[in-house]
Structure 1
Amino acid sequence: MAKIEIYTKAFCPYCSRAKQLLDGKGVAYEEYDITMGGPKREEMIQRANGRTTVPQVFIDGEHIGGSDDLAALDRQGGLDALLAA
Structure 2
Amino acid sequence: MSKVTMYYKVTCPYCIRAEKLLRERGVTDLEKISVDTNREARAEMIERSGGRTTVPQIFINGVHVGGCDDLHALDAQGKLVPMLEA
Q: How high is the TM-score relative to the length of structure 1?
A: 0.96
Counterpart of 1:11 in 2: which secondary structure? coil
- Name 2:35's counterpart in structure 1: 34
- Name 1:24's counterpart in structure 2: 24
d(CA) in 2 for partners of 1:4, 1:10: 17
- Name 1:9's counterpart in structure 2: 9
Number of residue pairs matched by the alignment: 85
**Sequence identity (%):** 52
- Name 1:44's counterpart in structure 2: 45
Structure 1: state its 5+ residue gaps. Answer: none
Q: How high is the TM-score relative to the length of structure 2?
A: 0.95
Letter in 2 for 1:27: V
d(CA) in 1 for partners of 2:48, 2:8: 14
- Name 2:73's counterpart in structure 1: 72
Runs of 4+ in 1 over 3 A off after TM superposition: none
d(CA) in 1 for partners of 2:20, 2:10: 15
Deviations 1:6-59 (A, max 9, x none): 000011000000000011112121000111132111100000000000000000
Counterpart of 1:64 in 2: which secondary structure? strand
Give, in angstroms, the shift of residue 3 of structure 1: 1.1
d(CA) in 1 for partners of 2:23, 2:75: 13
